[in-house]
Amino acid sequence: MVMPCLSITQYKVLVALYKSKANNGRQIELKFDINKEDSLNNRFKEIKDLKADAVFSIDDDIIFPCSSVELAYSVWRSAPDAMVGFVPRIHWIDQSKGNVNQYMYGGWWSVWWMGRYSMVLSKAAFFHKKYLSLYTNEMPSSIREYTTKNRNCEDIAMSFLVANATGAPPIWVKGKIYEIGSTGISSISGHTEKRTQCVNRFVAEYGHMPLVSTSVKAVDSRETWFW
């Protein structure tokens, strides 16, 4: 599990929870990486000696039932090169610019309206640990510098990275997650415009648009009327 930050209280609660859930008294290994630099890229910094292949990236204001995480993990195991998450987003060509190389970024309502998505946000997503190394060591450093300077779009950068490596879309899992934070960066005025700028900046860095859109989503058939 990768979380962007933890308070002392959150740390103590997490340790107590892990110990209480240990199977047959087996100790669960916990490691906490304290970063000196204040950068959004720390979220995807390579973790040395990581034993598991799966990384579950999650914001500290997200809560969810275990069944949702188990479903997402089972989906990821069937497609370990894909990014599998709960929060879909979309991009599309900006027709108003008259240029096929200019794109728009859209949030949830755009996904709902279009019935398609091309990204899943890392605020709640599974991906393979190899992408941490690619993000840290092989992704253009100018992208990391851009996210640090603008304090935004590290999640879009990871979506670009995975799509560029796989040539395939992510997988949206329809699960129950809840955001308990009162406000977030997405509530700030101009958020969508800034995200659109990120998309176009990253397209320029890669020299093409790697994101692939899809209408496929994974659902738990036991909890749906139609499937």
Question: What residues are annotated to the active site?
Answer: 155
Q: How many residues does the chain have?
A: 227
Residue 90 CA to residue 109 CA, distance in Å, equals: 10
* Partners of 126 in beta bridges: 56, 84
Nearest to residue 139, comparing CAs of 119, 154, 123? 154
CA 173 vs. chain centroid, Å, equals 12
Strand-pair category, 124-128 with 84-85: antiparallel
Q: Is 83 buried (19+), middle (13-18) or exposed (0-12) by CB count in 10 A?
A: buried
Residue 145 corresponds to which tokens in the numbers above? 């510098």
**How far are the Cα atoms of 10, 12, 25, 126, 208 from residue 7, in angstroms, in the given order?**
5, 9, 27, 23, 40
Per-position b or e across 195-222, b if 16+ CB within 10 A of its CB: bbbbbbbbbeebeebbbeeeeeebebee
